[in-house]
Amino acid sequence: MPNDATALQLVLSGDPALFAIVRLSLYVSLSAVVLAALIGIPLGALVALTKFPGRQGVIVLLNALMGLPPVVVGLAVYLALSRSGPLGAFGLLFTPGAMIIAQTVLVTPIIAALTRQTIEDLWIEYRDELTAMNLGPLGRVTALIWDARFSLVTALLAGFGRAAAEVGAIIIVGGNIEGFTRTMTTAIALETSKGDLPLAVGLGLVLIAIVIAVNALAWTARRAGERLAG
């Protein structure tokens, strides 16, 4: 990015470096949310609907993991993906793939914990009906997940917000490499360290605008869906 531009100028001029950063941010965070949903939703539903020893402990743990410090996750993923680490052979460190993995670890507990709560509440409401319909376990789970879909969208948005906003994990495992692993948040950290506070603030506003846009999109979809299916 040119040195003396403000963020607004960058946006208005369609600065390709800025758009590449925005694209990478969205790619990394959305991929992480999709992966975390594929893991977290079934996991949350499983905890909500099964009884096993230590279940209370698992619930407390899931809720606590929602507050995982990104920098700790970043460090753990860094050590795992480093050439000297157990997964070093994949050569993922300092790539977008590593950033997706780190954010998936951060987001999965959020989606799993919120799914657990949502599905458990819905199960209390549906238990009699679904039991009376003689539905098997798989039928129950799919019915509950489908009927919880609007609340689960909120869980996904919470996960996306977390992923899009964090810098601690991806700056460690991505390395903030220009044109390759530099995202909105790591760029903001960099501009701050260069003392270019106006550009950092400008980029921050762009990031907030993007997060609002994604949420508005999801909200519109949710409202439209609810009108049809309530």
Partner 1 sequence: MRAPSSELPIVFDGVTVTAGPVTILDRIALTLASGAPTVLIGPNGSGKSTLLRVAMGLLAPSRGRITWGGLENVPPLRRAIVFQRPAMLRRSAAANVRFALRAAGIPRAEHARRTGELLELVGLGHLADRAARRLSGGEQQRLALARAIARDPAALFLDEPTASLDPTATKAVEDIIRAVSERNIKVVMATHDLGEARRLAGDIVMLHRGRIVETAAAASFFEMPQTAEARTFLAGELLV
Partner 2 sequence: MKMFTRRLLIAVTASLVFAGHAVAQDKSIVMASTTSTQDSGLFGHILPMFKARTGIDVKVVAQGTGQALDTARRGDADVVFVHAKPAEEKFVAEGFGVKRYPVMYNDFILIGPKSDPAGIKGSKDIVAALGTIKARGADFISRGDKSGTHQAELNLWKVAGIDIAKDKGPWYKEIGQGMGAALNTASASNAYVLADRGTWLSFKNRGDLLISVEGDKRLFNQYGVMLVNPEKHPSVKKDLGQQLIDWLVSAEGQKAIAEYKINGEQLFYPNASDSGA
Q: Of residues 2, 86, 132, 138, which one binds partner 1 by CB under 8 A?
A: 132
CA angle 117, 157, 114 (to 5 degrees): 10
Neighbours of 7 (CB within 10 A): 22
Contact 92, 98 (CB under 8 A): yes
Determine, following the binding rule CB under 8 A, whether residue 224 of this chain makes contact with partner 1.
no
Selected range binding partner 1 among 13-21, 48-56, 91-99, 143-151, rule: CB under 8 A: 143-151
Q: Of residues 60, 61, 64, 133, which one binds partner 1 by CB under 8 A?
A: 133
Contact 158, 114 (CB under 8 A): yes
Determine, following the binding rule CB under 8 A, whether residue 19 of this chain makes contact with partner 2.
no
Determine, following the binding rule CB under 8 A, whether residue 88 of this chain makes contact with partner 2.
yes
- Our CB check for partner 1 shows the closer of 38 and 133 to be 133
Structure tokens at 217: 């999109």
Selected range binding partner 1 among 35-43, 46-54, 128-136, 175-183, rule: CB under 8 A: 128-136
Q: Give the N- to C-terminal CA distance of the chain in Å, as an integer.
A: 47
Determine, following the binding rule CB under 8 A, whether residue 8 of this chain makes contact with partner 2.
no
Structure tokens at 58: 């698992």
Judged by beta carbon distances under 5 to 8 A according to partner kind, the member of partner 1, partner 2, none in contact with residue 150 is partner 1
User: What are the distances in angstroms from CA 212 to CA 10, 33, 145, 215, 218?
Assistant: 19, 16, 26, 5, 10
Q: Which residues of 201-224 are buried (b: 16+ CB within 10 A; e: fewer)?
A: ebbbebbeebbeebeeeeeeebee
Contact 182, 176 (CB under 8 A): yes
- Our CB check for partner 1 shows the closer of 51 and 227 to be 227
Selected range binding partner 2 among 54-62, 90-98, 154-162, 217-225, rule: CB under 8 A: 90-98
Determine, following the binding rule CB under 8 A, whether residue 170 of this chain makes contact with partner 2.
no
Judged by beta carbon distances under 5 to 8 A according to partner kind, the member of partner 1, partner 2, none in contact with residue 17 is none
- Our CB check for partner 1 shows the closer of 9 and 154 to be 154
The number of angstroms, rounded, from the C-alpha of 21 to the middle of its chain's C-alpha atoms is: 17
3-state secondary structure of 40: helix
Binding residues for partner 1, rule: CB under 8 A, are 125-126, 128-129, 131-135, 139, 143, 147-150, 226-230
Binding residues for partner 2, rule: CB under 8 A, are 3, 31, 34-35, 38, 82-85, 88, 90-98, 100-101, 175-178, 180-181, 190, 192-198
